[in-house]
Amino acid sequence: MASLQVTSRRVYRRTDNHTPGAPKVELFTEALPPIAPDAVVIKVYAVSLNYRDANIANGGNPWPVTSHGIPCSDAAGEVVAVGKMVKGLVLGDRVAPILDTKNITGRESTRSWLAADEDGVLADYLVFEEEKVCKLPVNLSWAGASIIPCAGVTAWMALKGVGIGKTVLIQGTGGVSMIALKLARAAGLRVILSSSSDKKLEKISASFSTPPLSMVNYAKNPAWEEDVLRLTTGMGVDLVIENGGTESLVKSMKCTRRGGIISQVGYLGRQDPQELAEFLPLLIDRRVTLRGINVGSKHDMEDLCAALSATQLDFSDIIDSVYSFDKAEEAIEYIWQGKQVGKIVIRL
Ligand SMILES: NC(=O)c1ccc[n+]([C@@H]2O[C@H](COP(=O)([O-])OP(=O)(O)OC[C@H]3O[C@@H](n4cnc5c(N)ncnc54)[C@H](OP(=O)(O)O)[C@@H]3O)[C@@H](O)[C@H]2O)c1
């Protein structure tokens, strides 16, 4: 181990007080975790937030969560110390921990999620085994790189299976959706973007004006799937990035072309199984492939990073706002209220 002066770290932990208005995180100074011979120490420069972080902090997560754990899963930083058995990383490498630390190849049967099954990354220093860390593209800013592990890999996996010239419906203007928009544009896909807000749609269409975006307001028109069909001359889209869940799934199937793909990413709408009455007949009639997305493996993240390096994509235009480390509470509340267009980042 190269000598490291740092022995303690600043770290946020969840309060687990789910009362509206009560603080959701608290700042501590703690000893740096033990550094195993196959581990690296990462100095964190940016942490990005996901809806999941606000949901867990407010007690809404449907999966188990350790009590008073460290929140957040997406960090970007620099390797500042390496254990003596570390082979693939060196001091100065730009890296991020992977979100599911058991998911290296995609074939593992177990899981361990940051900020749920184990501590997350909202701290100024992290210690991770080398195997659980992925190198980041060098062209991205720290803020841009921090959006890769969860939202980035999810968008990447959700877009698989369609190529240049195909049409994708992206639902909502949150983090996953805006990264999907960037990746879809880079891959030569036509994008139809839906939102509950004309204001958000106007803002995004101004930033993504060439070629013009097709847009649908799902809140104004409850039969928004008909708008999507009109925009695709009655055929339907090749792929949907589904964020609503049971509230929108059947409608999404109605505006997907025969043989198309639906990537089920989110469950942001009202979840009522009665909404699924038409599910099976539609699945068969439209020969739709319904695909569950659950972020991705380390190998998937490496593929995404290779694509980002090759395209030199820049994410600065989809970062809604940047908060300082001492404003973590406000950042979590902001995303909980759904005010953002794109990503929220905490800078360290
Ligand atoms: N499966 C996975 O691997 C995976 C990974 C990451 C996230 N997720 C899930 O994906 C969803 C989005 O995550 P995120 O981090 O991008 O969230 P986010 O940044 O908080 O974005 C949420 C946005 O989705 C839109 N939305 C809200 N309700 C909707 C509905 N009923 N139908 C369609 N769109 C709706 C809203 O956009 P407008 O205001 O423009 O309408 C909202 O701003 C969440 O459910 C999250 O838990 C899943």
What is the pLDDT of the chain when averaged over all its residues? 95
Integer distance in angstroms from the first to the last C-alpha of the chain?
A: 25
> Do 38 and 83 form a contact (C-beta atoms < 8 A)?
yes
Res. 311: pLDDT tops 80: yes
Mean predicted confidence (pLDDT) in 195-221:
95
Q: Which residues of 106-134 are buried (b: 16+ CB within 10 A; e: fewer)?
A: eeeeeeebbbbbebbbbbbbbbbbbebbb
Name the pTM for this structure: 0.96
Domain co-membership, 100 together with 201:
no
Give the atom of ligand 1 at the shortest distance from the alpha carbon of 244.
32
19 lines ligand 1 (CB under 6 A): no
pLDDT value at residue 278 = 96
Is there a domain that residue 253 lies in? yes
Domain co-membership, 278 together with 173:
yes
103 lines ligand 1 (CB under 6 A): no
Mean predicted confidence (pLDDT) in 6-11:
95
Number of domains, the chain: 2
Name 113's bridge partners.
100
Quickly state the pLDDT bin for 2 (edges 50, 70, 90).
Answer: low
Whole-number Å distance between alpha carbons of 56 and 339: 18
pLDDT value at residue 118 = 96
Question: Which amino acid is located at 105 in the chain?
Answer: T
User: How much distance in Å is there from the Cα of 339 to the middle of ligand 1?
Assistant: 12
Q: What is the pLDDT of residues 37-46, one digit of tens each?
A: 999 999 999 9
Domain co-membership, 138 together with 162:
no
> Do 145 and 76 form a contact (C-beta atoms < 8 A)?
yes
User: How much distance in Å is there from the Cα of 174 to the middle of ligand 1?
Assistant: 6
- Measured in residues, the chain has a length of 348
Q: Which CATH number fits the domain that encloses residue 63?
A: 3.90.180.10
Quickly state the pLDDT bin for 271 (edges 50, 70, 90).
Answer: confident
Domain co-membership, 207 together with 285:
yes
Is there a domain that residue 299 lies in? no
What residue's CA is closest to ligand 1, atom 25? 172
Report strand pairing: 94-97 vs 74-82.
antiparallel
- For 227, the domain range is 153-292
Res. 1: pLDDT tops 80: no
Name 190's bridge partners.
167
Is there a domain that residue 278 lies in? yes
Q: What is the DSSP string of 73-131?
A: SEEEEEEEEE-TT--S--TT-EEEE-SBTT-SSS--S---BBTTTB--S-BSEEEEEGG
pLDDT value at residue 54 = 95
pLDDT value at residue 5 = 84
Domain co-membership, 75 together with 165:
no
Domain co-membership, 215 together with 244:
yes
Res. 139: pLDDT tops 90: yes
Residue 52: strand, helix, or coil? helix
Q: Which CATH number fits the domain that encloses residue 229?
A: 3.40.50.720
342 lines ligand 1 (CB under 6 A): no
Give the atom of ligand 1 at the shortest distance from the alpha carbon of 49.
15
Mean predicted confidence (pLDDT) in 157-175:
96
Quickly state the pLDDT bin for 30 (edges 50, 70, 90).
Answer: very high
Is there a domain that residue 333 lies in? yes
